[in-house]
Amino acid sequence: MKYIIKVENLKSSFDKKIILNNINLKIKPKEIVSIIGRSGSGKSTLLRCLNLLNRPDSGKIFFNNYNLLDSNISLTNLRIQIGMVFQHFNLFSEKTVLENCCLGLKCIFKMPYTEASRKAFKKLKEVGMEKFAYENVQKLSGGQKQRVAIARTLCMDPKIILLDEPTSALDSESAQEILKLLKNLVIKHNITLIIVTHELQFAKKVSNKIYLLENGQIIEKGNLNDIFQLDKCPKIKYFFEQDKK
């Protein structure tokens, strides 16, 4: 079985406090995986370890069978292939939507402005934001900024996109639109999505597989059928039931 991401015995600490302890996970190409858990369980730290924004203390992270903790790995090349959509978008507020999407193409790929603009406009069209290409980012709503952040990541043609709380700043209608958009991206681009979220109904609707973290450890994992039809994942199911109360 080929896995696009495989994590073995991952450990991470901060100021002597253990954040992640003995994390093991396997993710197949084109899967949509959600990582859930209470605040402080280590979800975002795990996500940031996957493209080495946080460097773990020990363990192994394999991307297409390459150990990312090998000292010869180029971080720039890694982050081209494993893109990140941050919780607060991290767009450049003084730039236009189009300029935000062109930046990586020009700075990393050294793409001429005309070619970069053409590609960026195409990606903006995919997420329904082409009409806002020349708008300043500051004028956009949360849902619109999220779409621009996704388009910016798509410009780099990643194999994986990491999304940290993609619906946390959105109303329910915008969240549903992002849900539909993410599913379409997997189909159109064969992208793998790894999502950290506290929105459990969003996780249920978008994911193929769910991992539950508690105190820095994965205490259960399962696909949707295992969790909600076959009752093979009682801890995850209980976590969902508690969220409804």
Q: Which domains does the chain have, with CATH numbers?
A: 5-244 (3.40.50.300)
Q: Which pLDDT value is given to residue 196?
A: 95
Question: What is the pLDDT of the chain when averaged over all its residues?
Answer: 92
- pLDDT at residue 57, rounded to an integer: 94
Asked if residues 235 and 219 have their Cβ atoms less than 8 Å apart, the reply is yes
Low pLDDT (below 70) residues in the chain: 1, 244-245
pLDDT at 62: 95
Contacts of residue 112, Cβ cutoff 8 Å, sequence gap at least 6: none
Measured distance CA(208)–CA(32) in Å, rounded: 5
Q: pLDDT value at position 1? A: 60
User: What is the Cα gyration radius of the chain?
Assistant: 18
Give the model's pLDDT for residue 32: 94
Kindly report the backbone phi and psi dihedral angles of residue 73, in degrees, each rounded to the nearest multiple of 5, phi listed first: -70, 130
- From residue 35, alpha-carbon distances to 41, 102, 190, 209 in Å are 10, 30, 20, 9
Give backbone dihedrals phi and psi of 10, rounded to 5 degrees, phi first. -75, 130
Contact 151, 140 (CB under 8 A): no
Residue type, 31: E
Sole residue written with tokens 């935000």: 100
pLDDT for res 54? 94
Please report the pLDDT score of residue 245 as a whole number. Answer: 59
The phi, psi pair for 157, rounded to 5°, reads 55, 55
> How high is the pLDDT of residue 225?
82
Q: Please state whether beta strands 5-14 and 58-63 pair in parallel, antiparallel, or not at all (unpaired).
A: antiparallel
3-state secondary structure of 57: coil
Tokens coding 143: 């849902």
Measured between alpha carbons, how far is residue 181 from residues 100, 114, 216 in Å?
20, 27, 30
- What pLDDT, on the 0 to 100 scale, is given for residue 132? 96
pTM over 0.75: yes
- For residues 51 and 78, is the Cβ–Cβ distance under 8 A? yes
70 Cβ contact partners less than 8 Å away, ≥ 6 residues apart: none
Residue 173: what pLDDT? 87
